[in-house]
Amino acid sequence: MKIAFVVPNMFETRAFDAIEPLVFSILAARTPDDIDIVFWDERKEDVPLDGNVSLLAITVETHTARRAYQIAREYRALGVPVVMGGHHPTFLPDEALQYCDAVVIGDAEGAWEELIKDFRAGALKSKYSQPDIMQLAGLKLDRSILKGKGYAPASVVQYGRGCKFNCEFCSIRAFYGKGLRQRPVADVVAEIEALDNRHVFFVDDNIFVDRAKAKELLRALVPLNMTWSCQVSIDIAQDPELVDLLEKSGCNGALVGFESLNPINLQQMKKGWGVKRQDYETSIKILQDAGVMIYGSFVFGYDADTPDSFEETVEFAIRNKFFLGNFAGLVPTPGARLYDRLREENRLLHDKWWLDPNFRYGDATFIPRGMTPDQLTEGCHWARTQFTTYGSIFHRLWDRRTNLKSLHRAGFFLAANYVFRRELRGKHGQSLGSEMPLVPAGANA
Ligand code: SF4
């Protein structure tokens, strides 16, 4: 028996900034030894549409749902059953089941073993889920499937799952529930020590939500003589001990979700806590003084945004010498309260933008209050373009605390900005998936 693991691509072009997908390393380690595994990551390589496999397992995000359904259709036509998991099928299992045979809802561990047992017995069910919250102690990974794919040069490691916050546009709470789960620090340290890479990206959605546990991890990282980056919320800058540990343990970069400079927007998205005790610029300075290169993430389209918000935000990101910056239109995704609110307010432009053949990457998906949908689309594109001009890159490089701290850092900054500029500009206006028609089971092509 042979199982194929598939990461679908958003577009038809390859991605140069793809990071290692951990989910299939975890599933590979939980697949019985007598089953052969083949792994195709369409961001980096073609997925054969006539592969000789017994079962296809696809991980699906909302932006890749269209492509996932297209690949599934080809395999099901060959008589190969298709299983889907990930955020999108978790929130819309019945939509996914129009295109596949089974969905895994929530964490795949545990459910995966049951699914394989049923598949071997010829009794695949349509829905699988983990009855209990999956604890992370002893989590094993098989990284061999990732070798040679050409991912971004940082090994992806997970410390924990979940977030204590519940920002309106985010579906992390809906996916993982209220509980926070962290792996034992000794497990994480052993995993890092076994890597042949001294740079790690912690893929947790917000690694410092449990400050005490975060400090425990950081203390254990200090002797490892490594560098690492992560995703955080800006409130960590209010904790001097944590900032000190960031510097000592080798943190050189953090993706920070600033989202908006407007406090009314932050209140509306339930993220006002980030500036409650300390304003953004003070927090940024504290992190940068500790050597942390900041990748700032912003969204536009909340009710207090106007066409002036784009210029103000880009100027802020360039002035603060951000390593990288993302400027995205707010995207309502299934599972997030934002999606339900905008639908109730009749402001969605497409009921399901992710399946709409006319939707293009970067397009507004709803009617904002302070501008037109076209102004939202064009404003975000303008902001990305301005942030990635060569003049902006050169200006942002010039910070001896962070981007220009060493020759190695400067080289990394320039290489990352080159790839980022190319990827951002290339994505704009692309359609999702391929030209293939999207046909649910039972319908005619
Ligand atoms: S956006 Fe970040 S801080 Fe907010 S709920 Fe999601 S993961 Fe947590």
Question: Which CA distances in Å does 311 have to 140, 308, 327, 383?
Answer: 46, 6, 11, 7
Q: Tens digit of pLDDT for each residue in 33-86?
A: 999 999 999 999 999 998 899 999 999 999 999 999 999 999 999 999 999 999
Verify that 86 and 207 share a domain, yes or no.
no
Residue nearest to atom 6 of ligand 1 (CA): 170
Question: Phi, psi at residue 379, to the nearest 5°?
Answer: -65, -40
204 lines ligand 1 (CB under 6 A): no
Percent above pLDDT 70 for the chain: 99
C-alpha 418: how far from chain center:
20
Residue 364 within a domain = yes
Spatial distance between the Cα atoms of 102 and 85, rounded to a whole number of angstroms:
9
Burial 252-291 (b: 16+ CB within 10 A, else e): bbbbbbbbbbbeebbebbebeebbeeeebeebbebbbebb
273 lines ligand 1 (CB under 6 A): no
Written as six digits, the tokens of 333 are 């995704």
233 lines ligand 1 (CB under 6 A): yes
Spatial distance between the Cα atoms of 283 and 274, rounded to a whole number of angstroms:
10
pLDDT on residue 442? 61
Residue 30 within a domain = yes
- pLDDT band, residue 311 (cuts 50/70/90): very high
pLDDT on residue 16? 87
Residue 73 within a domain = yes
CA of 51 relative to ligand 1 center, distance in Å: 38
Verify that 263 and 169 share a domain, yes or no.
yes
Find the CATH number of the domain harbouring 101. 3.40.50.2300
Residue 418 within a domain = no
Name the residue range of residue 35's domain. Answer: 2-129
Q: Tens digit of pLDDT for each residue in 82-135?
A: 999 999 999 999 999 999 999 999 999 889 999 999 999 999 999 999 877 778
Verify that 237 and 357 share a domain, yes or no.
yes
Find the CATH number of the domain harbouring 241. 3.20.20.70
Residue 230 within a domain = yes
Which residue from 166, 183, 218 is spatially nearest to 336, judged by alpha carbons?
166
Verify that 115 and 219 share a domain, yes or no.
no
Residue 377 within a domain = yes
pTM of the model: 0.94
209 or 194, higher pLDDT:
194
Average pLDDT over residues 237-258: 96
Spatial distance between the Cα atoms of 254 and 231, rounded to a whole number of angstroms:
5
CA of 165 relative to ligand 1 center, distance in Å: 6
Q: Which of 169, 176, 206, 331 to mutate to test the pocket of ligand 1 (most atoms within 8 A of CB)?
A: 206
Spatial distance between the Cα atoms of 288 and 267, rounded to a whole number of angstroms:
26
Average per-residue pLDDT in the chain? Answer: 94
pLDDT on residue 443? 61
Q: Give me the number of domains the chain comprises.
A: 2
CA of 254 relative to ligand 1 center, distance in Å: 14
Verify that 191 and 121 share a domain, yes or no.
no
Average pLDDT over residues 398-426: 95
324 lines ligand 1 (CB under 6 A): no
Is it the case that residue 140 has pLDDT exceeding 60?
Answer: yes
